[in-house]
Amino acid sequence: MGKEKAGVKELEFGGPLGTVALLALMPCTILYLVLLCGSEDGGLLSVPAPPGGLAQLWDVRAFGICVAWILFQALLYTLPIGYVAEGLPLKNGKKLKYKINAFQAFIITLATLGLAVYYGLDLSYIHDRLLQFAFSAILISLLLSTYLYARSLTKPESELSTAGNSGFFSYDFFMGHELNPRIGSFDFKYFCELRPGLIGWMVINLAMLHKEVQQGTGPSLPLILVNIFQFIYVADALWNEECILTTMDIVHDGFGFMLVCGDLAWVPFVYSLQANYLVSHPRSISYASAALICVVKGVGYVIFRGANSQKNAFRRNPNDHAVSHLKSIPTSSGKRLLVSGWWGLVRHPNYLGDLVMALSWSLPCGFSHVLPYFYVLYFLGLLVHREARDANQCGKKYGAAWEEYCNRVKYRIFPYIY
């Protein structure tokens, strides 16, 4: 451990000790949830052991498939399709260029997968070896984070992330030392943010559907709903890929274990929890319940997409006819803050919509177990914490204007509640 540097003023996540705990907690939680989902009982306090002991976690074939999967997505990223967009200005005033072709990569992946299944690929293998796949993804995250940290030690201060430049090894390894690690135009953080994890999550969901059909309990309406809802979420994120260039992950956070493991292991294996749960806990629901759940999903989506598109359009061009009628307040930086429309309802309407959608993904699993609700509960914690981090940064960035915004828009995420 070293001494605190000027880059980080306030340490987050409990500082060096908190991040050591998180380095262990993140992988253990992923493996625990996958194991729990597959067990008959699924009781939260039972600690199911991997069948065959810990040695069974390692599977050379699963590891090879994970590596091949990431390389395949990397190949699609480098294809000369799509277009190139500019990121926000860096500390040195320069702007990085980013290839926008994640949606095309998604379509090519689905077509390739469809063809492979047509020619006999058994997708249910992913369900049967899910634990081994999750372990492999964690191992790859660890290897990649180690490489990223090692190379960051050779980089000048200007290329480091202020959020992950404390001088404490565990902290900087977790938060990410280098802001935009690249080899040529290949941007590791940008590539991992959406592609291998989000598209991988869809493949796991489809594998769950395949398994349900194979075991004679499907395709069930609950699993079809979960697949469709999450497909819409992922397709939307990939279609609007350019929007991530203005998010906290790209602009502020370095690329360390938190994001690497989050992108490559946590998202695909934890977010597919509901689909996994439904395979081992089959159930049916009425069309009326299904319709009601679709309404919840629709409401969440309208708020989520409306809020994100409104802010994105406003940040790109405040005179855009879609947002020029909205009220805003000036800040000393020259940027304005919206105080009407979705951003006048609460300070983070996009988080509100995201949480309503998250609830709709769990509802098809019924109420007999808390496990399928893990995502909603974890996501609530994540977004409440993220909101506080963002408010702290905006307070520093905008000073009095941010205070005025908070006075005019009283609630953070939930109107009249929080």
In the complex, what is the shortest distance from the CB of residue 386 to ligand NDP, in angstroms, rounded to a whole number?
A: 5
Site for ligand NDP in 38-97 (CB under 6 A): none
Q: Which of 221, 204, 193, 241 is CA-nearest to residue 126? A: 204
Number of residues that bind ligand NDP (CB under 6 A): 20
The DSSP code for 266 is I
Binding span for ligand NDP by CB under 6 A among 52-60, 129-137, 195-203, 345-353: 345-353
Judged by beta carbon, residue 212 or residue 354, the one nearer ligand NDP is 354
Judged by beta carbon, residue 62 or residue 326, the one nearer ligand NDP is 326
Counting contacts by CB under 6 A, is residue 211 touching ligand NDP?
Answer: no
Q: Alpha-carbon distance 377 to 382, whole Å?
A: 9
Counting contacts by CB under 6 A, is residue 315 touching ligand NDP?
Answer: yes
Q: Which CA distances in Å does 44 have to 29, 282, 290, 293?
A: 12, 18, 27, 25
In the complex, what is the shortest distance from the CB of residue 176 to ligand NDP, in angstroms, rounded to a whole number?
A: 15
Counting contacts by CB under 6 A, is residue 390 touching ligand NDP?
Answer: yes
Counting contacts by CB under 6 A, is residue 343 touching ligand NDP?
Answer: yes
Counting contacts by CB under 6 A, is residue 386 touching ligand NDP?
Answer: yes
Judged by beta carbon, residue 56 or residue 309, the one nearer ligand NDP is 309
Q: Alpha-carbon distance 257 to 27, whole Å?
A: 11
Counting contacts by CB under 6 A, is residue 311 touching ligand NDP?
Answer: yes
Burial of 251 (0-12, 13-18, 19+ CB in 10 A): middle
In the complex, what is the shortest distance from the CB of residue 116 to ligand NDP, in angstroms, rounded to a whole number?
A: 28
Q: Is 325 helix (H, G, I), strand (E, B) or coil?
A: coil
Using an 8 Å Cβ cutoff, are 82 and 101 in contact? yes
Site for ligand NDP in 229-288 (CB under 6 A): 247-248
Q: In this structure, how many other beta carbons lie within 10 angstroms of the beta carbon of residue 71? A: 11
In the complex, what is the shortest distance from the CB of residue 276 to ligand NDP, in angstroms, rounded to a whole number?
A: 17
Judged by beta carbon, residue 128 or residue 403, the one nearer ligand NDP is 403
List the end-to-end C-alpha distance of the chain, in Å, as a whole number.
Answer: 38
Q: Alpha-carbon distance 189 to 390, whole Å?
A: 20
Which residue carries 């802010």 as its tokens? 311
In the complex, what is the shortest distance from the CB of residue 343 to ligand NDP, in angstroms, rounded to a whole number?
A: 4
Binding span for ligand NDP by CB under 6 A among 100-108, 124-132, 141-149, 335-343: 335-343
Q: Which CA distances in Å does 311 have to 95, 170, 308, 392?
A: 20, 35, 5, 19
Counting contacts by CB under 6 A, is residue 362 touching ligand NDP?
Answer: no
Site residues for ligand NDP per CB under 6 A: 247-248, 304, 308, 311, 314-315, 335, 337-338, 343, 348, 350-351, 354, 386, 390, 393-394, 405
